[in-house]
Amino acid sequence: MKKLLLSASLLFTLNFTAQEKGPELNCYNKWAAKFEDRGAEDVKDGVYEDVIVTNRQGAKATCNNGKAEVKNGKITHFYILLNDGTHEEVKKTWKNKSNENVTVINGISKSMFTVHGELINVLWPNKIKPKKAKPTNAPDPTDD
């Protein structure tokens, strides 16, 4: 009987730990989900010092604070904020001129591709719309 209980608990434990976990979300996926859920206001022409520059390669992503310049509805330059408070322009070897005519839709730039297989996006977190109000639940009936 002890062997049976031990075997059953061992099988239960193995089955429980062997279940696959969903894919872990990286910083870009988390932000993209928030933008998708809430939507974002339009990004007008100007210089923004509150953007996030994302760099993705495969399932890995890095998200850095930065600034970006938008002219005629397109990103002209964008920079990473360094820990000394200065900015460094993002300069890559771009594939198929993917860094040209980059528009911003729903607070996220069109993806830019490097020859090294990186995907770069610029995000405007301050343009995310506020949370939508949720409906309130009615109370259950009473015996009055």
**Which CATH number do you get for residue 114?**
2.30.29
State pLDDT tens for residues 77-130. Answer: 999 999 999 999 999 999 999 999 999 999 999 999 999 999 999 999 999 999
Q: Is residue 65 part of a domain?
A: yes
Question: Is residue 119 one of the residues assigned to a domain?
Answer: yes
Q: What are phi and psi of 30, to 5 degrees?
A: -65, -45
Is 31 inside a domain boundary? no
Q: Is residue 93 part of a domain?
A: yes
Residue 7, domain member (yes or no):
no
pLDDT digits (tens, 9 = 90+) for 35-45: 999 999 999 99
Q: Is residue 87 in a domain?
A: yes
CA 98 to CA 52: how far, in whole Å?
19
Domain that holds residue 63: 42-127
Is residue 60 assigned to a domain? yes
Residue 107 lies in a domain: yes
Could you give the number of structural domains in the chain?
1
